[in-house]
Amino acid sequence: MELPFLIKRIWYNTLFVEACKNIHAISGEIKTKYHRHEVSPDILSTYKTLIDNPSVNKFYNVFATEIAAGQLSPPWYIGASFARAAMVVSKTEVVSFATIAVGNKVSRISIFRLEAGDALWVINSLTSLAENCPLSQKLKLLSVFEKHSFLQTLLKDASVESAAKFFSTLLVGIDEDTVLSALRYSPAWESIRKNTALRDALIDQDQRLLPAMGT
C-alpha cells in the first residue's frame, strides 16, 4: 500500500472523527432543549452553529461526491436536530429558522438523506412550524420552504395524509381566495399526488383546499 494513500486515509479518518465529535456535541445540546418540551429562545442560533461548523462543512465538501453517490451517509444527527429544533423554536423565529435551514447546503443534504421513517418525522416538524407561524407570515413560510425544492423533495415520498395535514395547518386562518391563489402557483402543492386519498384527507382536514385539486 502506497504511503500517499495511507496519509490520505488517515486524513480522511481524522476529518470524519472531528466532524462527528462536533456534530454529536452540538446536536446533544439541541436534543436536551427539545426534551424540555418548552420553547427554546436560542435554538435557532444553536442549530446555525451546528450547520455552520467549519469541520462539519469541510467534511461535507470533501466527501461531496461520495454523499451524492449514496456511498456515504451524512450524519443522521443533523437531520434529527432540524426536526427537534423545529418543535421548540419560538413563534417569532419560525421564518428565520426555516430560512437558515433551507438555505444551508449541509442542512438540506442531511434532511434529504434521512430514511423514510425519519423523513416523516421531518414532515411532522414542518407541520409544527406551520402551526406556530404567525398568521401574517404563513405565506412567506411557504415561499421559504419551496426554495431549493426543499418542500417538494420531502413531499415526494410523504403520504397524502401528511401533505394534507401540512397544508391545512399552514393555511388555516387565511381567506379561501388567497389560499386557492397560493396553491395555484405552489410548486410544492403541484408535486403532491392528486388522488382519492388526498381528497378524503382534505375532506377531513380542510375542505377549502378541495378546489385546488383541479378536475
Judged against a pLDDT cut of 50, whether residue 10 lies above it is answered with yes
Percent with pLDDT over 70 in the chain: 93
Range in 13-17, 83-87, 139-143, 191-195 the model is least confident about: 13-17
* Mean pLDDT on 90-112: 95
Go through 169-178 and write b for each residue having 16 or more CB atoms within 10 A of its CB, e for each that does not.
bbbeeeeeee
Inter-residue contact 45 to 90 (CB < 8 Å): no
Q: What is the pLDDT of residues 124-141, one digit of tens each?
A: 999 999 999 999 999 999
Sequence spans of domains, the chain: 3-158, 159-215
Distance CA 108, CA 110 (A): 5
Which set of grid coordinates corresponds to residue 174? 387565511
pLDDT number for residue 62: 84
pLDDT bracket for residue 92 (50, 70, 90): very high
